[in-house]
Structure formats: C-alpha cells, structure tokens
Amino acid sequence: MKQFFTVLNFELSNYFKNKSYLLTTILISIFLIVGLSIPRFFDAGKLFNSSNDDKENTIVVYDKNNILENVDILEPYFLDAKITSADSESNAENMINDKDADAGFIINSFDDYTYLVYNNGFNDDNQKIYEQAISRIFRDSYLTSKGINAEEIESLFNMPINSDIQVLGKDSVSNYAYTYGLIFIIYIVVLTYGQLIATSVTSEKSNRAIEVLVTSASTNSLIFGKVIAGAIASLIQVGIIISSGLISYKFNSDAWDNKLDMVFDIPSEVLLCFAVFGVLGFLFYSFIFGTLGALVSKTEDISKSVMPITMIFVVIFMLVMINLTNTDGTVVKILSYIPFSSLIAMFTRSAMGTVATVEILISLAILIASTIVTGLLASKIYRRATLMYGNPIKLTKALKWIKKED
C-alpha cells in the first residue's frame, strides 16, 4: 500500500506541475466566471446588438395606384419603423439614397410591388412583414366588400388556445443542453487522459525507467497508482471548471433572466450520477489505455496501439448522441449495461429518460466489477509487456499470457 501511495503522489505531482494542465483549468474557469458575470455589469442586449437597433427605422411607401386608403395602415405591422409616403417613385429612391429613409416599397397592386433598399442585409425582414400585411389588408377589404365581418372571420381562424405543461417525469427538452455538455466532457476527458496515461507508460518503457520502477514497486501499485492519479487529476480539473460555471451562474442568473437554466441549472442527482459513472468509466478505460501503452516501446507507436479502443469509444459516443432524443429506446438501454458504454449511456438515461433505481444499481455493479477485473488483467499484462522491447506486442499475444498464467 505504501508503494501505491508513493506512485500516486508522484503521478499527481506531475499533473499538478504540468503547465498545460494548470493553464487549461485556470483559463476555462476564468472564462466561465467572467463570461457569466458580464450581464451584471453591462446591458446584455446593448452589448451584443448594434447601436442601430435602438434607432427607429423609416420606411417610405409610394402607392402608385392608390390601392390603400392611407399608407399609415401599414404602420401597425412594422412595429419598429415609421411609415412615410412619397409622391413619386423617384422621390422614394432619393429619400433612400439621401439616407432619409432606410427602405421603401413601390406598390403597383395588391399582388405586385418593388422593394427599395440601399444595402440588402441578411437580417432584413421588411419584405416578409410587408407581404403578410398586404395580404391581411387585401383579405379584410375583400370580405368587407362582400358584407362579411372581417374581425369575426379572424377570430374564427385564430382562436386563442390556452395551454400548460405539467411534467410528471423527466423534462427531456429542458435537460437536453446540460446532458449534451456533460456527455461531451466525459468524451474529452476519457480520450485526453487515456492518451496521457498510455504515453506516460510508453515513455517510462522507452527510457528504461520502468526497469527500475518494477524492481522498486509492484506492478499493481504502478498501474493502479498511475490510473487513479489520472482519475483524481481529471476529477479535480473537471470539478473546478464545472463548479466555476455553476456557482458563477447561480450568482448571476437574475442578470441573465434565467435564460441559461437549461445549461447550468443541473439537479444534484444528475451531477452525482455523472460523477459516479464518469469516474468508474474513466478508470475502466484508463486501465485499457495504460495496458495498450505498455505494448509498444516507442511513443510514435502509441496512436496505432490505442486506435482500436479509441474507435470503440468514438462509436459509442456517436450512438448515444444519435439516440439522445430517444433515451428510452432499445439501443440506449442495451448500451447502459455494457461496461464500455454505460458511463455515457446510463448517465444519459438517468438525466433524460425513465430509469428505475434497480437498473442503475445493476449497471453500476457491472461497471465496478468490470473495472476491477480490467485493472487486475491490466496489471498482469503490464508486468510482462513493460520488460519486452522491440516491435509492438499484439494484444492477442498479451491476452494469451494471462491464459497461460491461469
């Protein structure tokens, strides 16, 4: 046990002394704290919108054939604009060229018009508003000419309906954003730290440091200390980053008018499930990455060695993401009991779907047992593989070692 803690402390100190580890943690945390605090000190609407949004626009209208009683009839439809009339088409064009008007319409008939604008922008919806307005005006005019009350027809086709939603189970719509984010965090952490652990093992093997280590400590202490150190380092890093975001938003949620609740208002039980399955799943994959790192003697061979397990995890990630809107489906249910995928799938079901406590416990038990077995197998392979140099060792050959020992 003393050897294990010695290895653990050594590996942890390497993480905590790593500048990229510290900078990543600090910079992302500061970014979240500052970013989520901006609305408290600034008007978010003015900060992200141009100053022109506060200026009332002017729209000039030339009714060529006097089909409208008055062009002011269009004003209720253009809520942020003032409607003014022109006495000729050239007059309307001159007003726009002289910046006395922002846009204009030359009305030829109810179903024919010309839109005038100095610069046509992506956010220009004046034409859409005009077409809706002129259609409504024409319809009301036609109905009135036939002796039909236009307001009664309008109320008939646009009857207001009051509704309310009472969620008795999980609100998958509201939970989608933070579930997506947490899944992505697991994905990044497993692949990043898994690669680091594999690289660390291979580096020790390539510079012959492993020969000294295996004579000073048991292989169980070496592999378990290395993997658990990675788990602790990642847990601290992710914990600091997530806490920075959650705490900062909690103090600034009123400034945001609670618009980001779907991202940062995460229930404690969801965070607990995320932490438990995330840590255990991380350990499971880290043992595999560490073993694969021991099978090669050169750091340039690592990517080829870890490619199979990387691809498996990427495929699992994609399957869960594709079925994120159907977490009670057969695919996610099956994945939630497989150790390779339960760290993502069961957490997703817990956050967005309907899952019984007994199902969570069964999945958790399978993952715990699989992690322990994987750790023990990794230790056996690690012991022999780290002392074998030369060409990369095939995983099938390494597994035969275990079979012979048993």
CA 195 to chain centre: 22
63-105: pLDDT as tens digits? 888 888 888 888 888 887 888 998 899 998 999 999 888 899 9
CATH of the domain at 133: 3.40.190.10
DSSP annotation of 56 reads P
Are 359 and 273 within one domain?
yes
Average pLDDT over residues 369-389: 81
Least confident of 309-318, 377-386, 394-403: 394-403
Are 328 and 185 within one domain?
yes
Question: What's residue 43's pLDDT?
Answer: 56
**pLDDT band at 167; cut points 50, 70, 90:** low
Higher pLDDT, 390 or 133: 133
Measured CA distances, 60 to 89, 90, 234 (Å) = 10, 12, 61
Are 234 and 335 within one domain?
yes
Average pLDDT over residues 219-233: 83
Quote the percentage of the chain above a pLDDT of 70.
86
pLDDT at 7 over 70: yes
Question: Is residue 28 within 8 Å of residue 241, measured between CB atoms?
Answer: yes
Higher pLDDT, 219 or 308: 308
In three-state secondary structure terms, 70 is coil
Are 309 and 229 within one domain?
yes
Are 255 and 391 within one domain?
yes
Are 278 and 226 within one domain?
yes
- Average pLDDT of the chain to the nearest whole number: 83
Question: What's residue 203's pLDDT?
Answer: 79
pLDDT at 406 over 80: no
Question: What's residue 301's pLDDT?
Answer: 79
Question: What's residue 51's pLDDT?
Answer: 45
Q: Which residues span the domain enclosing 93?
A: 52-157
Q: Residue 225 and residue 8: Cα distance in Å, rounded?
A: 4
Are 198 and 321 within one domain?
yes
Backbone φ and ψ of 18, nearest 5°? -70, 120
Are 126 and 260 within one domain?
no
Position 43 in a domain: no
Position 41 in a domain: no
Backbone φ and ψ of 172, nearest 5°? -65, -30
- The tokens describing 135, both together, are 């259609």
Q: Residue 295 and residue 311: Cα distance in Å, rounded?
A: 18
Picking from 157, 186, 207, the residue at the C-terminal end of a domain is 157
Q: What is the 3-state secondary structure (H, E, C) of the chain?
A: CHHHHHHHHHHHHHHHHCHHHHHHHHHHHHHHHHHHHHHHHCCHHHHHCCHHHHCCEEEEEEECCCCCCCHHHHCCCCCCEEEEECCCHHHHHHHHHCCCCCEEEEEEECCEEEEEECCCCCCCCHHHHHHHHHHHHHHHHHHHHCCCCHHHHHHHHCCCCCCCCCCCCCCHHHHHHHHHHHHHHHHHHHHHHHHHHHHHHHHHHHCCHHHHHHHHCCHHHHHHHHHHHHHHHHHHHHHHHHHHHHHHHHHHCCCCCCCCHHHHCCCHHHHHHHHHHHHHHHHHHHHHHHHHHHCCCCHHHHHHHHHHHHHHHHHHHHHHHHCCCCCCCHHHHHHCCCHHHHHHHHHHHHHHCCCCHHHHHHHHHHHHHHHHHHHHHHHHHHHHHCCCCCCCCCHHHHHHHHHHHC
Least confident of 14-28, 255-269, 363-377, 385-399: 385-399
Q: How many domains does the chain have?
A: 2
Are 274 and 214 within one domain?
yes
Q: Is the pTM of this model over 0.75?
A: no
Higher pLDDT, 320 or 50: 320
Least confident of 113-127, 215-229, 387-401: 387-401
Are 254 and 295 within one domain?
yes
Are 83 and 182 within one domain?
no
pLDDT at 39 over 60: yes
Higher pLDDT, 127 or 396: 127
250-269: pLDDT as tens digits? 888 887 877 787 778 788 88
Are 149 and 175 within one domain?
no
Q: Residue 373 and residue 344: Cα distance in Å, rounded?
A: 20
Position 374 in a domain: yes
pLDDT at 48 over 90: no
Picking from 123, 157, 191, the residue at the C-terminal end of a domain is 157
pLDDT at 389 over 70: no
Position 40 in a domain: no
Average pLDDT over residues 187-208: 82
Question: Is residue 274 within 8 Å of residue 235, measured between CB atoms?
Answer: no
Position 231 in a domain: yes
Average pLDDT over residues 235-261: 86
Quote the percentage of the chain above a pLDDT of 90.
25
Question: Is residue 85 within 8 Å of residue 61, measured between CB atoms?
Answer: yes
